[in-house]
C-alpha cells in the first residue's frame, strides 16, 4: 500500500514548550529519550537489523468529553444552579476542551507526530542501512487508526533522513494477534474485569485515602445541597476524569493553539494541589503496573499474553539471519502492548513483580516505561568474519539488561543465548515459535 507523506511537523520547541508543564502525568508523559551516548560496540561487530516495537505517539483524548461522568455532573449541577465559582471555571474549561478535542478523538497529536519523527531520525543515525532504498521494511500496526498515524509519522522521519530515498515498505495493517493481544484474550479480559489485582489496587487506594480526597476535591465545585446527592463512587469517577483531562493537556498543546485558545483557557491544573496530582498519578501507575506490567506475578496472565509478540521478535530475527527479507521490522501499538512485552522480555526496570503494592513505584514507573511513543528496540549486530550475532535492547532508547541472563559484553548479548532464554519461556507456556497464537490467547493463564 502506498502512502503520501504530508505531515507538517513542527520544530523541537513544540515538544519542549508543552513539556515544561509535565508533572504527574504517568503514562501520558511526553516522550524524551532516556539516553544519548552509548557504549562502544564490541570489536568486529556492526549493526545490521532493527526489531522495533513502539507505542503510538502523544494523542488526543480517546473518549468524548461530553460522555464523561465529570461533564454530566457539572452540567446537571449547572441546570439547578448548584455550581459555585470554581464549578463555573471548570465548566468553561470542559467546554473549551470539548471544542478542541471533538474533531480529534483517538488521533495522535502534532506533538505525537514530532515524537515519532525524531525517534526515527535517531534510529537512522545508528545505521542508515536499516532504511536504505535498496532494502525492504515491514511495518505492522493494530486495527486502531492512531497506530497507523504513528507509523506514518515515523516513516516521515525516515523519508526526511534519507531525502526520500527510503526502503520499500510492506504493510501489515491489522496485526492484532501480535500487537493487540490484550483485546483478543478472553481469559485476560476476565482478569482485567475481576482479577485479584483489584484487591491490591484497593489496598493502595485505601492507604492514600482516595475516597476522602475525591470527596474533598469534588466539594470545591458545588453547592452543599448538590454534594449530598452524589455517591462516593461517582465522586471518585469525577476526580479521575479531571485527572485524565489534566494529563492530556501537554499532548494537545498545538491543537489548543490552533483553536485560538491558550493553556489558561483550559486550566485544569490549577484546580488541583500538587499533592493530589501526585496521588492520582500514583494510582494510575498502580493500575497500569497491576493490569499491564509485572504486577504481583511476572508469570501472570497480564505478562504471558505478550508471548505471541515474543515469538514474533524471535521469528523475524531468525528470518533476517537466514534470508534478510527485511532490514528492519517496525511495529506500532499501545501502552498495553509495550508494558507486558517489556516484562516478558525480563528487561531491567520493567519486569520486577511485587505484592508490596504500597512500594511498587520503587520498582516501576509508567513515565519511564510507557510514556507516549514508548519503544523497545532490539538491535542486532553481526561480525562478518565469525558470522556471530549480538543483540542489544533499548527501552525508550536506554541500554537495558535482561534480568536472569548474563553476558560478558553488557549491554550486548550473544543472540544464540538470548534466543534460547526466550524459547525456554515460551516452552514453559506450552508454546513453540510456530504455535497457533490466537488459540493460545484464549487459553492463556
Q: Is the pLDDT of residue 21 over 90?
A: no
One of 3.90.1560.10, 3.40.50.1240, 3.40.50.720, 3.30.1010.10 is the CATH number of 12-60+108-189+292-441, namely: 3.40.50.1240
Q: Of 311, 418, 334, 328, which Cα lies nearest the Cα of 377?
A: 328
Mean pLDDT over all residues of the chain?
95
**What is the DSSP annotation of 72-128?**
HHHHHHHHTT-B-HHHHHHHHHHHHHHHHHTTTTT-B-HHHHHHHHHHHHHHHHH-G
Mean pLDDT on 279-308? 98
What's CA 107's distance to the chain center, in Å? 14
Please state the φ and ψ torsions of residue 195, each to the nearest 5 degrees.
-70, 170
Place of cell 468524548: 64
Nearest alpha carbon to residue 90 among 274, 213, 271, 262: 271
Give the confidence band of 6 by pLDDT, cuts at 50, 70, 90.
very low
3 state DSSP class of 391: strand
Q: How crowded is the C-beta side of 56, counted as CA atoms within 13 Å?
A: 26
> 3-state secondary structure string, 291-360?
HCCCCCCCCCHHHHCCHHHHHHHHHHHHHHHHHCCCCEEEEEECHHHHHHHHHHCCECCCCCCCCCHHHH
Phi and psi angles of residue 372, each rounded to the nearest 5 degrees, phi first: -55, 140
pLDDT (tens digit, 9 = 90+) per residue, 354-407? 999 999 999 999 999 999 999 999 999 999 999 999 999 999 999 999 999 999
Q: Is the pLDDT of residue 75 over 70?
A: yes
Q: Are 154 and 147 in contact (CB under 8 A)?
A: no
Average pLDDT rounded to a whole number, residues 130-155: 97
* Longest Cα–Cα distance in the chain: 80
CB atoms closer than 10 angstroms to residue 382 = 19
* pLDDT per position as a tens digit, 99-128: 999 999 999 999 999 999 999 999 999 999
Question: Is pLDDT above 80 for 298?
Answer: yes
For residue range 181-221, list pLDDT tens digits in order.
Answer: 999 999 999 999 999 999 999 999 999 999 999 999 999 99
Number of neighbours of residue 6 by Cβ within 10 angstroms: 7
**pLDDT tens digit string along 227-254?**
999 999 999 999 999 999 999 999 999 9
Pairing, β 388-395 against β 375-383: antiparallel
For CATH 3.40.50.1240, the residue range(s) in the chain are: 12-60+108-189+292-441
d(CA 398, CA 350): 12
Amino acid at each position: 500500500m502506498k502512502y503520501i507523506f504530508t505531515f507538517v511537523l513542527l520544530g523541537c520547541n513544540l515538544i519542549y514548550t508543552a513539556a515544561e508543564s509535565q508533572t504527574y502525568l504517568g503514562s501520558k508523559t511526553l516522550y524524551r529519550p532516556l539516553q544519548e551516548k552509548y557504549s562502544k560496540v564490541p570489536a568486529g561487530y556492526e549493526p545490521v537489523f532493527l526489531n522495533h516495537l513502539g507505542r503510538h505517539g502523544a494523542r488526543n483524548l480517546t473518549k468524548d468529553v461530553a460522555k464523561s461522568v465529570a461533564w454530566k455532573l457539572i452540567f446537571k449541577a449547572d441546570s439547578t444552579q448548584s455550581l459555585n465559582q470554581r464549578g463555573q471555571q471548570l465548566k468553561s474549561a470542559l467546554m473549551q476542551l470539548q471544542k478542541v478535542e471533538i474533531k480529534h478523538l483517538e488521533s495522535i497529536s502534532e506533538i505525537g507526530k514530532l515524537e515519532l519523527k525524531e525517534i526515527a531520525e535517531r534510529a537512522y543515525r545508528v545505521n542508515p542501512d536499516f532504511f536504505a532504498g535498496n532494502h525492504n521494511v515491514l511495518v505492522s500496526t493494530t486495527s486502531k487508526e492512531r497506530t497507523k498515524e504513528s507509523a506514518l509519522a515515523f516513516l516521515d522521519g525516515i523519508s526526511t533522513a534519507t531525502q526520500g530515498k527510503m526502503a520499500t515498505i510492506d504493510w501489515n495493517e491489522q496485526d492484532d494477534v501480535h500487537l493487540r493481544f490484550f483485546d483478543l484474550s478472553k481469559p485476560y479480559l476476565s482478569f482485567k474485569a475481576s482479577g485479584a489485582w483489584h484487591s491490591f489496587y484497593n489496598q493502595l487506594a485505601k492507604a492514600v485515602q482516595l475516597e476522602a480526597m475525591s470527596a474533598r476535591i469534588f466539594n470545591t465545585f458545588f453547592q452543599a445541597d448538590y454534594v449530598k446527592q452524589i455517591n462516593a463512587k461517582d465522586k471518585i469517577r469525577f476526580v479521575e476524569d479531571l485527572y485524565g483531562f489534566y494529563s492530556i493537556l501537554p499532548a494537545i498543546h498545538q491543537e489548543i493553539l490552533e483553536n485560538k485558545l491558550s493553556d489558561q483557557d483550559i486550566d485544569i491544573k490549577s484546580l488541583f494541589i500538587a499533592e493530589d496530582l501526585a496521588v492520582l498519578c500514583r494510582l494510575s501507575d498502580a493500575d497500569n503496573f497491576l493490569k499491564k506490567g509485572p504486577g504481583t506475578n511476572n508469570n501472570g496472565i497480564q505478562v504471558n499474553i505478550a508471548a505471541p509478540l515474543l515469538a514474533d521478535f524471535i521469528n523475524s530475527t531468525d528470518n533476517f539471519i537466514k534470508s534478510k527479507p527485511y532490514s528492519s521490522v517496525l511495529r506500532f501499538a499501545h501502552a498495553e502492548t509495550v508494558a507486558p512485552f517489556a516484562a516478558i522480555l525480563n528487561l531491567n526496570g520493567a519486569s520486577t513483580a511485587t505484592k508490596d503494592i504500597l512500594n511498587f513505584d520503587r520498582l516501576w514507573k509508567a513515565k519511564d516505561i510507557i510514556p507516549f511513543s514508548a519503544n523497545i528496540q532490539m538491535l542486532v549486530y553481526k561480525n562478518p568474519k565469525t558470522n556471530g550475532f549480538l543483540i542489544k535492547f533499548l527501552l525508550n532508547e536506554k541500554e537495558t539488561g535482561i534480568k536472569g541472563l548474563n553476558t560478558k559484553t553488557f549491554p550486548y548479548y550473544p543472540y544464540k543465548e538470548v534466543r534460547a532464554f526466550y524459547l525456554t519461556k515460551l516452552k514453559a507456556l506450552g508454546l513453540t515459535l510456530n504455535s497457533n497464537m490466537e488459540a493460545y490467547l484464549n487459553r492463556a493463564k
